[in-house]
A and B are shown apart, each in its own frame.
Chain A
């Protein structure tokens, strides 16, 4: 029961509007740049590859980029899906057990699990490279590094849902109705977690697909994620090719983020993520 002071509302609104423009404008410019002929518009860079100046709209750069980076794109998606699968396999039962505090030290384990989010990705990847130099060059190490950064999102998603609903009471109720441990898990716990699992999986996918800090060191020439391909493009290619490649990245990642927002995954996205 209060009227808002007008001046404050205007101030908050303008700063927010400014931030919205700051976030949105570059994205729109890149998308526009990916199919509009920039030379035609009078923007050009010295690395501009000549050709096609006569038409305003062209989609040929998408074809070029897709052709050039198809291996990285498919590997990036595969890697992200591997992350999702492993997070579901490891994080979901693990998260349930953590909530139950079955063992002393569960709290420490949970803190350790979230630790990677607050230490620089490059240090983790150096550690992995040194500890497991014998499997350097395989993509297992890349997956391992990413897993450290994706797993916390799934586990948080699971534990926050279970803690929010006093899940222990539900399980006791199920036990009192005669359901055993595994049946309870299957019939009560998992259905309650459905939403958390969907949001968690999407988060894991997005984080993995866009991850660069850890991957940069663990990439190999044969196994590279898409951001590494983007980096190569930025350093060697024209503005239009770079724009098309970036737009391609956005096409994968933006729908995933929008679905997360639509599903109300706010609570679980609030964990800090290393960029």
Chain B
């Protein structure tokens, strides 16, 4: 009973603020626009029929996949050092790498424009040094967006990987060495299979975070369309809640599917472990 009292507010939040809104989302995605409308698949059909909506979804998925791969691989380096070794300034390294944790996409977009934009620091420095203007306006292309997304995935990827790599016992590779495994065999037969679950779950985390993000693109370039931005436009430009709801459902389902798939894979691999 007392536990019930302690739990009730939590239950209230989950039901009223999460389940009811998500249910409403699903419900209205199946309604015809307007108060008098009936049930329909039209919102989904229109979404998948629209070339621009498909392009936006492709951008969202492409950016998220690309950034998930790149950030997982790059952050493996600091995570490995943080998890396995003691060195001076370790706390500072972690503090700096987790700095972007609370930066929203728009701030990172602004930082990217400053660094890589038309008058950005990096292109100007590059031009001053080499006389080449290759990097001018790098922020506004796909590359700039990727770098910006990488920026906010660094804390997530590093912390998730570090936590997982803490469970990696360096004696495993030592044991493999004493049993005659060459460095390449150790990496292939011991390190990779034991680190793979950590990589997969980090991939899932970073992919999920990127999929819903739109602040970066909002600041950098409205020429690149993303599904979250289209949702925003449906609501504010066209007041078409039903279409926005359908788009939202698609986004949530895709995010879930990827998460479900990767976590399933990771836990199948982890089932081999204690």
- Chain A residues with a Cβ under 8 A of chain B: 1-2, 4-5, 11-13, 15-16, 19-20, 22-27, 29-30, 33, 43-45, 89-91, 93-94, 96-98, 100, 102-103, 106, 109, 112-113, 115-116, 118-124, 126-132, 144-145, 147-148, 151, 155, 181, 206-207, 209-213, 216-217, 227, 230-231, 234-235, 239, 242-243, 246, 249, 253-254, 256-258, 261-262, 266-267, 269-270, 272-275
Select which of B106, B114, B174, B228 is within 8 A of A231 by beta carbon.
B106
Complex contact B17–A234 (CB within 8 A) = no
- B208 lies within 8 A of chain A by Cβ: yes
Question: For the complex, would chain A's binding face be called helix, strand, loop or mixed by DSSP majority?
Answer: helix
- In order of increasing CB-CB distance, the 9 nearest A-B pairs are A120-B212, A127-B21, A94-B10, A212-B104, A102-B3, A15-B77, A93-B6, A123-B248, A26-B111
- Docked pose: A238 CA to B192 CA in angstroms: 49
Complex contact A148–B107 (CB within 8 A) = no
Residues of A contacting B7 with CB < 8 Å? 93-94, 97-98, 102-103, 106, 109
Q: A123-B252, A227-B104, A270-B160 are in contact. Are A261 and B95 (CB under 8 A)?
A: yes
B10 vs chain A, min Cβ distance (A): 3
- Docked pose: A233 CA to B105 CA in angstroms: 14
The 8 A CB mask of B100-113 against A (1 = contact, 0 = none) is 11111111111110
- The B190-238 residues at the A interface (CB cut-off 8 A) are 205, 208-209, 211-215, 218-219, 228, 231-232, 235
Question: For the complex, would chain B's binding face be called helix, strand, loop or mixed by DSSP majority?
Answer: helix
Chain A residue with Cβ nearest B231: A122
In this complex, which of B6, B20, B96 has the most chain A Cβ atoms within 10 angstroms of its Cβ?
A: B6
Chain B residue with Cβ nearest A207: B102
Complex contact A272–B205 (CB within 8 A) = yes
- Docked pose: A22 CA to B96 CA in angstroms: 10
Complex contact A249–B107 (CB within 8 A) = yes
- Name 8 interchain pairs, CB-CB below 8 A, sorted by A: A93-B7, A94-B6, A113-B13, A123-B231, A210-B107, A227-B106, A231-B219, A272-B156
- The B255-269 residues at the A interface (CB cut-off 8 A) are 255-256, 259
- The B116-169 residues at the A interface (CB cut-off 8 A) are 119, 121, 124, 147, 150-152, 154-156, 159-160, 162-163
Residues of A contacting B43 with CB < 8 Å? none
Complex contact B110–A230 (CB within 8 A) = yes
Complex contact A231–B6 (CB within 8 A) = no
Select which of A24, A94, A207 is within 8 A of B96 by beta carbon.
A24
- B189 lies within 8 A of chain A by Cβ: no
- Docked pose: A154 CA to B29 CA in angstroms: 32
